[in-house]
Chain A
Amino acid sequence: GQQVMQIPQYQHVQEGEDFTTYCNSSTTLSNIQWYKQRPGGHPVFLIQLVKSGEVKKQKRLTFQFGEAKKNSSLHITATQTTDVGTYFCAASTDSWGKLQFGAGTQVVVTP
């Protein structure tokens, strides 16, 4: 079955640095979504990517969908303490598919 692999599982970042988290699948994806979960909170939807090669930006966050629609990345520039949390990708393989979540990347930011 479809598996969504997310790397790294843990990321320790100095405030002001950039970092990237990746989401990979062995099968072609119909779409991919990204969520953020603050410590003790619930997942919150950030963005959805549908098209091959699609790039979307939200302030300091840049989301990319691979050309082959098998991978995605989230890049954060100039990390701030408000970026702390776990970032999940979630994907489906067709337009009627259930979402499968990756295991998440836990981000810790030190001042």
Chain B
Amino acid sequence: DAGITQSPRHKVTETGTPVTLRCHQTENHRYMYWYRQDPGHGLRLIHYSYGVKDTDKGEVSDGYSVSRSKTEDFLLTLESATSSQTSVYFCAISEYFSPQPQHFGDGTRLSIL
């Protein structure tokens, strides 16, 4: 498996609190992605990064921000969490942009009460 570590693996928090999820990779891949997975929706792209400090929005970016200050780290922040953001969050990396295979981390299960 690709060297991708997501932290935390599980988190329970309350509505209105800020939450930051971290994705760390050891593959030195340029491209990193954040997805959310919900039943019946597959995986939906939140944000992606094509280099240090270079990021762009995906299809469900509202309520989320990202930062990438180092090649190996990609952070996803929920500024003020809402119950609709309860989901499983996956980080993925690829050496090149589409159409290259993406390699996924183990995911973070986030519950917002």
Contact = CB atoms under 8 A, between A and B. Distances in A.
Interface of A: 6, 9, 30-31, 33, 41-45, 48, 50, 88, 90, 92, 95-104
Interface of B: 35, 40-45, 48, 58-59, 90, 97-99, 101-107
Contacts of B43: 43, 88, 90, 101
A33 to B, nearest CB: 7
Contact of B101 (A6, A33, A103): A33
A91 to B, nearest CB: 9
B42 A96 contact: no
B41 to A, nearest CB: 6
B41 A30 contact: no
B90 A42 contact: yes
The 3 A-B pairs with the shortest beta carbon distances in the complex, nearest first, are A31-B99, A101-B42, A45-B101
A99 B101 contact: no
A50 B48 CA distance: 23
Given A31-B99, A44-B104, A45-B101, A102 B48 contact: no
Contacts of A90: 43
Contacts of A96: 97-98
Given A30-B99, A33-B99, A43 B45 contact: no
Given A42-B90, A42-B106, A48-B101, 18 more contacts: A9-B40, A30-B98, A42-B104, A42-B105, A42-B107, A43-B102, A43-B104, A45-B101, A45-B103, A48-B99, A50-B99, A95-B98, A98-B98, A100-B59, A102-B42, A103-B41, A103-B42, A104-B42
B54 to A, nearest CB: 14
Nearest to B90: A42
23 contacts: A6-B42, A30-B98, A31-B98, A33-B101, A41-B106, A42-B104, A43-B43, A43-B90, A43-B102, A44-B104, A45-B103, A50-B99, A90-B43, A92-B99, A96-B97, A96-B98, A98-B45, A98-B58, A100-B59, A103-B40, A103-B41, A103-B42, A104-B42
